[in-house]
Amino acid sequence: MSLRKEILEVSRSMLIEKGFGKMSMRKIAAAANVSATSIYLHFKNKDELLLALMEDSIAQLAEALSNSINGNGDALYKLETLADTFLRFALERPQEYEIIYMVRPEEMPKFPKDKFQHIRKVYEMLADIIEEGRQQGQLDVDDPLVSAYTLWAQLHGIVSVILSRRLDTRIARDKFIEQAKDQIIQGFITQKTPV
Amino acid sequence: MSLRKEILEVSRSMLIEKGFGKMSMRKIAAAANVSATSIYLHFKNKDELLLALMEDSIAQLAEALSNSINGNGDALYKLETLADTFLRFALERPQEYEIIYMVRPEEMPKFPKDKFQHIRKVYEMLADIIEEGRQQGQLDVDDPLVSAYTLWAQLHGIVSVILSRRLDTRIARDKFIEQAKDQIIQGFITQKTPV
DNA sequence: AAAGATAGGTTAACAGTGTTAAGTAGATAG
DNA sequence: CTATCTACTTAACACTGTTAACCTATCTTT
């Protein structure tokens, strides 16, 4: 196996086991039985390594999302399913979620296109679903792509509050998630205001 | 002025000017004309210093929110005003926002109650407004306190996506904010489904 | 085959980090 | 006048990311 791959593997498992904060170049190197400087032969710096991990996690999340909607159901159902899958992914694999959405490689180049192809595809898939729902009069949105990002941002907000331990201890986590999900979805549904 | 206060002031301006990443104990100490170890006489460690800054920023945010709804308007109007104020605070003072919602003091004790009194008050105020809206049939929510946290989480999601530069470059920031705000608020509004 | 370039690794070092242990000058108290 | 306490200091430890310089085996070119 190439050293590059090995570095990626050990850093990923280190990330998952110990969390992002305890990942250091030297520890990664030690785990791969190699000197710390060797990492720099394969990655420009720590941020680039992080981006590579990110790319991979994004691909996995994108796949989980794609798989969860296997064609059947109407737009609304699909939206709910996607929201569920997203929340489950985030809460079951918090460390991986973290590097996708919470870690900030310093001065992260604004959306380096190539690295974010996968997640862009997800947004576009989502936008398509929203558009479908709009045409069927089920959803009430303005710009579908913007709506896709909005939905995602809202879900991220929910996850973020939980993962960063900012949720009031008086509130049960599951109840919070359920209610939040309902409320978010409801924001997309066409209002049937009686004339 | 007490050294404790001076340390807080220096670190706050350092935080605002250079950002969280470039804040170090030694730099703070140098800016306060004191040795690095002196900080430890006033704060247990860096996290405690961070928490103190956090506490302060939270108080400011809480005040901005309280001030923005000066009694008049119905529940829905108040909700919109609060959302506006929150978003403005976050986007105008990103560094301060960051320490409130994004920085994670390692192993942050789950909501150390005393330090979060202010923000809890805000949530309760928000819950009251939501309850008021429910009683007037304007809002459709289950548990008002949970809804308060949900609203906040959603808004945080929007801010978070922008501040961590994860927003698609094709999407105009202002458009995103406006549409997101509308969608979030709509999630709270009573659906008038015709029978 | 000899010579040179290259790929892939090394060790040593720099400049920085949070944090602790031990020591010190000055005010205060008995 | 001595002892204690307070607020600070210097020195040091054990880390961090990163770079410079060096080594060695393999591949390419003459």
**Residues in chain B within 8 Å Cβ distance of A174:** none
Residue span of the structural domain in which B15 resides: 1-43
* CATH classification of the domain holding A9: 1.10.10.60
* pLDDT at A172 (0 to 100): 96
Distance CA B145, CA B123 (A): 7
Question: Which stretches of A69-172 are DSSP H helices?
Answer: 75-92, 94-101, 117-135, 144-163
Q: Do both B161 and B106 map to the same domain?
A: yes
Q: Residues A77, A131: one domain?
A: yes
Determine which of B79, B166, B181 to mutate to test the interface with A (most A C-beta atoms within 10 Å).
B166
Q: Which helix (H) or strand (E) holds A3?
A: helix A3-18
Asked if B106 and B174 sit in the same domain, the reply is yes
Q: Is there a single domain that holds both residue A124 and residue A59?
A: yes
Does B156 lie in the same domain as B103?
A: yes
Q: What are phi and psi of A170, to 5 degrees?
A: -75, -15
Q: Is A189 helix (H, G, I), strand (E, B) or coil?
A: strand
Q: Given pLDDT bands bounded at 50, 70 and 90, which one contains residue B195?
A: very low
Q: What is the pLDDT of residue A138?
A: 94
Residue A17 CA: distances (Å) to CA of A21, A55, A57, A93, B80: 11, 19, 15, 10, 42
**pLDDT tier at A107 (50, 70, 90 boundaries)?**
low
Q: Tokens 């929007």 belong to which residue?
A: B158
| Interchain contact, B141 vs A183, CB within 8 Å | yes
Nearest CB among A146, A165, A186 relative to B179 is that of A146
DSSP state of B140: -
The distance (Å) linking the CA of A32 with the C1' of D24 is 21
Same domain assignment for residues B153 and B93: yes
Is the CB atom of residue B189 positioned under 7 angstroms from any atom of strand D?
A: no
Q: State what percent of residues in chain A have pLDDT above 70.
A: 95
Residue B25 lies in a domain: yes
pLDDT reported for residue B31: 97
Counting the structural domains of chain A, the total is 2
> What percentage of chain B exceeds 70 in pLDDT?
97
Position A95 in a domain = yes
Q: How far is the CA of A42 from the C1' of C13 (A)?
A: 21
Indicate whether B39 belongs to any domain.
yes
- pLDDT tens digits, one per residue of A109-167: 677 778 788 889 999 999 999 999 999 999 999 999 999 999 999 999 999 999 998 89
Pair (A29, A88) in one structural domain: no
Are both A82 and A105 inside the same structural domain? yes
Do B173 and B133 fall within a single domain?
A: yes
Region B150-161: mean pLDDT is: 97
Give the model confidence (pLDDT) of B58-89 as tens digits. Answer: 999 999 999 999 878 899 999 999 999 999 99
Half-sphere exposure of B90 (CA within 13 A, CB side): 22
In sequence order, the 6+-apart residues with CB closer than 8 A to the CB of B13 are: none
Question: Within a domain: residue A192?
Answer: no
**Amino acid in position B193:** T
Specify the pLDDT at position A194.
46
Span A62-86, pLDDT tens digits = 999 999 998 788 999 999 999 999 9
Q: Same domain for B95 and B170? A: yes
Q: In the structure, how many helices (H) and strands (E) does chain A have?
A: 9, 0
What is the reported pLDDT for B40? 98
**Mean of the per-residue pLDDT values for chain A?**
92
Could you tell me the two tokens for A76? 């609304």
Tell me how crowded residue A86 is: count the other CB atoms within 10 A of its CB.
23
Does B107 score more than 70 pLDDT? no
Tell me: do A111 and A132 sit in the same domain: yes
Same-domain check for residues A123 and A164:
yes
CB contact under 8 A, B167 and A150: no
A195 belongs to a structural domain: no
Using the CB atom, is residue A164 less than 7 Å from strand D? no
Q: Which of residues 4-33 of B touch strand C (CB under 7 A)?
A: 23-27
Q: For position A52, which CATH number holds?
A: 1.10.357.10
Which of A156, A167, A173, A192 should we substitute to test contact with B (largest number of B Cβ atoms within 10 Å)?
A156
